[in-house]
Amino acid sequence: MAAGTATARIFASRVGGRRSRNLAGAIYGTLVATAVVAGIAERTSLSSVRAFWLLLASGVFFWCAHVYANLVAERIRGHHRMRRHDVGRVMSREWPLLQSSLPLAVPLALGWWGVIGRDAAFATATLVGVAMLAAWGVNFARREGYGLAGIVKCAAVNAAVGLLIVGLKVAVP
């Protein structure tokens, strides 16, 4: 019974992102989700509900693509047959990529349910993406032992990357 409880806790913490070793996947997922929201926000004909599903579908697509690419690469590199365990391991490792879409989906869901307007939902989702990127900068700077100035610089650089993505999506129709 204790082993089952420990396994459940480890799984829950991995789903929650606390034990994820794939920080690159989480950051990449945040970049992709922010770009998707910025791109669909420019289309005035798209509702919040459609944007919600497009964002989640994009997250699932990129997650599946990364899982597939990693499995094929491991198969070629390792010269061994793929096992069910391999698939589950790679799916778990790449999970942060998909998970990164979820915070941006919340404002879109609020727009879908009529809690906030369409424009506010898109603006908030974009802001959440940029804020997540800034938070990754803070996380990095703190782990590197930077002082307050370094933390602010890292957060600003990461937020600027998010804003650059938004700007490019707006500038390129």
Side chain identity, residue 109: A
Which residues does 47 contact at the CB level (< 8 Å), separation at least 6?
111, 112, 118
**Report field, pTM of the whole predicted structure over 0.75:** yes
Q: Please give the radius of gyration of the chain, using alpha carbons only, rounded to the nearest integer.
A: 18
**Residue 29 and residue 62 in contact, taking contact as beta carbons nearer than 8 Å:** yes
Q: What per-residue confidence (pLDDT) applies to 6?
A: 44
Q: What is the pLDDT of residues 120-168, one digit of tens each?
A: 999 999 999 999 999 999 999 999 999 999 999 999 999 999 899 888 8
Among 54, 49, 136, CA closest to 96: 136
How many other CB atoms sit within 10 Å of the CB of residue 59?
22
Q: What is the pLDDT of residues 156-173, one digit of tens each?
A: 999 999 899 888 877 876
Q: How far apart are CA 35 and CA 162, in angstroms?
A: 8
Q: What is the pLDDT of residues 5-39, one digit of tens each?
A: 444 344 434 444 455 578 889 999 999 999 999 88
Q: Structural domain boundaries of the chain?
A: 21-129
